[in-house]
Amino acid sequence: MTIAKRCFSAPGKALLAGGYLVLDAENSSFVTALSARIYAITSSQFVGSTLPTITVLSPQFQEGEWSYTICRSPATGFVSVTTLTPNRRNPFVQSAIATVVNYLSATGILQTAMPSLTINILSDNAYHSQPSDGVLPFNKHLLPIVAVPKTGLGSSAALTTSLVAALLSFYGDMNPVASESKTILHNLAQLAHCNAQGKVGSGFDVACAVFGSIVYRRFQPSIISSLPSAPTSSDREMEASYLLSLTNIIDADWNVGTGACAVPRRLRLLMGDVTGGSETPAMVQMVLQWRKEGGDSAAAVWTALGKANEKLIAAMIGLGEQAVEMPEEYDAFVDEVLKVSAMGIRQLGLSNGGRTGELFALVVDAIIEIRDNLRIMTIRSGAQIEPIEQTRLLDACSTLPGVLGGIVPGAGGYDAVCLLAAEAAVDAIAKHTEGEFEKVKWLELREEAHGVREEDLLEIEKFL
């Protein structure tokens, strides 16, 4: 018996406002979904009496195959997931499989006669640094995936989310991208991603992969940390306890903030891949240590950065509303934005731009305040959040017509920069900076409102 193939995808992300503060559940962050997607294409056949296997293939990379046997306890329903490729570990793939099949088993959804499953993974080129321009879609690399530099767009979160969606669809017989299913999909993907990383992260990347561009407020870490470790030996009591805890956690209300918030029309994010690299975990530890030991001065910077983030979020929401409710005023001001730099946009907005102009000025001011506070954190914590090289780059870009401002997204560092600009100015910006900033490669990306979705199988499968 053959099961119909299906294809699910999840987007990458850019954290525009909320770096570091996203770790606190009381803070809101603005995270945008990007057009770079990771696709999971499923095909499956029932097998005889042998143990079912799940094989995940990533044909763009050398050694891109990971296979697992699935063994379900008849007594408790606990599912053991054992690798058949021990020399090629992929913790995100294995964690996604183990989390989903155990949840489906615990809830009585998993079939007794499980089919073996093959999932092909394709990732858009923007997730990894490419050797040159003009490469084909889904470019094939001559190295294992761990040896190919990433661009910091959230590939592990998009991979985990697309895999969870595919597994829920085929083993759970559900539509994982329906609005009523997305909470379960989100909770499973968050848990699988955290288990693979070995820590409870902020979760904004997974939330964005599921829900798209959002104002995010994280869950309480204790929700995930309360889950006991999966049993490694056949202990019925431990297996039953684990499955009960898993079900309670996934079915619970995590109180996650995921309100929709997108970049308004005629504006565009311009993402730049910068030659360099940063160790995000080490930077986070340095910032948290500074915050812990910095007393009132650290708290003041933390509070000021939070207020600047809230200002940017409110202004972006307001501009989105103006673009719909006052389209003539909005379009007229965007036409003026094309002619002047960030400070010129601010002056125009405050002098005669109406409500739309005021909101554009607020965006410029908020970006300036965010960068000011991130630079203070850079100096005081020692973490290179906005290094001097990135400061020079962003300052220079902010003088170009049509640019509202730029930031180092997420945790910052040397990996990337992000500009917010008028869409019609993007080509001129890229051309102007082509020779001046040779370390920057502007990525062919757009902001997307939508998160995980089902794709036209024929459009994607032809690239395998």
Within-domain flag for 1: no
Q: How many domains does the chain have?
A: 2
pLDDT digits (tens, 9 = 90+) for 428-445: 998 888 766 767 888 889
Residues 160 and 281 in one domain: no
Residues 337 and 410 in one domain: yes
Residues 278 and 156 in one domain: no
Neighbours of 248 (CB within 10 A): 12
Within-domain flag for 185: yes
> Domain with 122 in it: what CATH number?
3.30.230.10
Residues 329 and 248 in one domain: no
Q: Output the average pLDDT for the chain.
A: 93
Residues 235 and 284 in one domain: no
Residues 45 and 174 in one domain: yes
State yes or no: pLDDT of 1 exceeds 50.
no
Question: Looking at residues 394-411, what average pLDDT do you find?
Answer: 95
pLDDT digits (tens, 9 = 90+) for 159-197: 999 999 999 999 998 999 999 999 999 999 999 999 999
pLDDT digits (tens, 9 = 90+) for 112-143: 888 899 999 999 999 987 776 667 899 998 89
Within-domain flag for 139: yes
Residues 162 and 296 in one domain: no
DSSP 6-60: EEEEEEEEEEEE-TTGGGSTT--EEEEEEEEEEEEEEEEE--SSSPPEEEEE-TT
What's the pLDDT band for 416 if we cut at 50, 70, 90? confident
Residues 254 and 134 in one domain: yes
Question: Looking at residues 257-277, what average pLDDT do you find?
Answer: 89
DSSP helix/strand/coil, 334: helix
pLDDT digits (tens, 9 = 90+) for 275-327: 666 678 899 999 999 999 999 999 999 999 999 999 999 999 999 999 999 99
Amino acid at position 101, single letter: V
Residues 385 and 432 in one domain: yes
Residues 236 and 276 in one domain: no
Within-domain flag for 447: no
pLDDT digits (tens, 9 = 90+) for 47-94: 555 789 999 999 999 999 999 999 999 999 999 999 999 999 999 999
**What is the separation, in whole angstroms, between the first and last Cα of the chain?**
23
Question: Looking at residues 389-403, what average pLDDT do you find?
Answer: 95
State yes or no: pLDDT of 214 exceeds 60.
yes
- Of 176, 46, 49, nearest in space to 111 by CA: 46
- Of 60, 112, 120, nearest in space to 93 by CA: 120
What's the pLDDT band for 4 if we cut at 50, 70, 90? confident
Amino acid at position 364, single letter: V
> Domain with 290 in it: what CATH number?
3.30.70.890
What residues contact 61, with CB distance under 8 A and at least 6 apart?
Answer: 140, 141, 143, 144, 145, 148
Residues 306 and 196 in one domain: no
Q: ∠ CA 148-151-153 to the nearest 5 degrees?
A: 125
What residues contact 131, with CB distance under 8 A and at least 6 apart?
Answer: none
| Percent share of the chain, pLDDT over 90 | 82
Structural domain including 129 reads 6-259+452-461
State yes or no: pLDDT of 329 exceeds 60.
yes
Are 102 and 38 contacting, i.e. CB atoms less than 8 angstroms apart? Answer: no
